């Protein structure tokens, strides 16, 4: 597997640069990530870059072993304050080598998918190197809970139109690699720029 940490740092840097262009009112804008606004999504990314194994497992116990409740509670202090304060916190984790417990690709997936949750809700898209896109696509199509990429992808063929990446067999879903990645993890909105006989099947598996 490629060394993921340089990719993570580059993606964080790219997102930090984008966040620096936002007006204060845009930080309260809804995102593609369920109930979180921009400031809350950034708070989540900061929290994920600060988590330790003891804090994670202790927090799960405290939250009744609910992963969702742990994540929602953990972001609160990092999302507090003004947009400038939250951006400063995010800048502070750009080159951090700490990652959440679990597979090494989690931190890469977090910043790439949540970065797009923010950008696309605000009418923008990120520019991601092909190596980052192909690496994450290969990893995400095999994921179980909570991402469920494998379950959504089974029986479908993915064909990227902007990188040399294909995967799977079955009805085709064709589109930009980042849109395919987002669709694999339940972002039905990303299918707007995808085509193929498998699109509606994948749309029905979102959520």
- Structural domain contains residue 127: no
Backbone angles phi, psi at 125, to 5 degrees: -135, 150
Residues 105 and 156 in one domain: no
Picking from 95, 121, 147, the residue at the C-terminal end of a domain is: 121
Q: Contact at 8 Å (CB) between 157 and 167?
A: yes
Taking the C-alpha atoms of residue 97 and residue 94, their distance in angstroms, rounded to an integer, is 9
At 57, is the pLDDT very low, low, confident or very high (cuts 50, 70, 90)? very low
| pLDDT over threshold 80, residue 68 | no
Residues 140 and 183 in one domain: yes
Mean pLDDT, the chain, rounded, equals 90
Beta bridge partners of 158: 167, 173
Give the list of residues 6+ apart from residue 147 with CB closer than 8 angstroms, or none.
Answer: 109, 140, 184, 185, 186
The structure's pTM equals: 0.90
At 189, is the pLDDT very low, low, confident or very high (cuts 50, 70, 90)? very high
Q: Which residue has the higher pLDDT, 150 or 59?
A: 150
Q: What is the pLDDT of residues 101-146, one digit of tens each?
A: 677 788 999 999 999 999 999 999 999 999 999 999 999 999 988 8
Q: What pLDDT was estimated at residue 70?
A: 53
Q: Contact at 8 Å (CB) between 37 and 72?
A: no
At 61, is the pLDDT very low, low, confident or very high (cuts 50, 70, 90)? very low
Q: What pLDDT was estimated at residue 110?
A: 93
Q: What is the pLDDT of residues 70-111, one digit of tens each?
A: 567 667 888 899 999 999 999 999 999 886 667 778 899 999
Buried b (16+ CB within 10 A) or exposed e, 108-123: bbbbbbbbbbbbbbee
| pLDDT over threshold 90, residue 17 | yes
| Number of domains, the chain | 2
Q: Which residue has the higher pLDDT, 48 or 12?
A: 12
Taking the C-alpha atoms of residue 138 and residue 105, their distance in angstroms, rounded to an integer, is 11
Which residues constitute the domain of residue 24?
Answer: 4-121
């Amino acid at each position: 597997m490629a060394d993921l940490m340089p990719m993570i740092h580059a993606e964080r840097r790219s997102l930090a640069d984008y966040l620096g262009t936002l007006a204060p009112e845009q930080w309260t804008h809804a995102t593609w990530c369920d109930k979180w606004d921009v400031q809350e999504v950034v708070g989540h990314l900061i929290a994920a870059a600060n988590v330790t194994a003891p804090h994670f497992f202790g927090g799960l116990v405290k939250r009744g072993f609910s992963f969702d409740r742990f994540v929602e509670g953990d972001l609160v202090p990092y999302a507090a304050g003004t947009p400038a304060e939250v951006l400063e916190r995010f800048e502070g984790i750009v080159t951090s080598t700490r990652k959440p417990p679990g597979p090494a690709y989690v931190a890469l997936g977090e910043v790439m998918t949540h970065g797009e949750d923010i950008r696309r809700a605000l009418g923008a898209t990120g520019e991601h190197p092909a190596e980052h896109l192909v690496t994450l696509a290969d990893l995400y199509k095999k994921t179980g809970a909570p991402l469920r990429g494998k379950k959504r992808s089974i029986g479908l063929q993915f064909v990227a139109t902007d990188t040399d990446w294909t995967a799977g067999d079955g009805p085709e879903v064709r589109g930009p690699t980042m849109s395919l990645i987002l669709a694999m993890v339940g972002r039905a909105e990303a299918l707007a720029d995808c085509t193929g006989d498998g699109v509606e099947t994948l749309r029905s598996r979102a959520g």
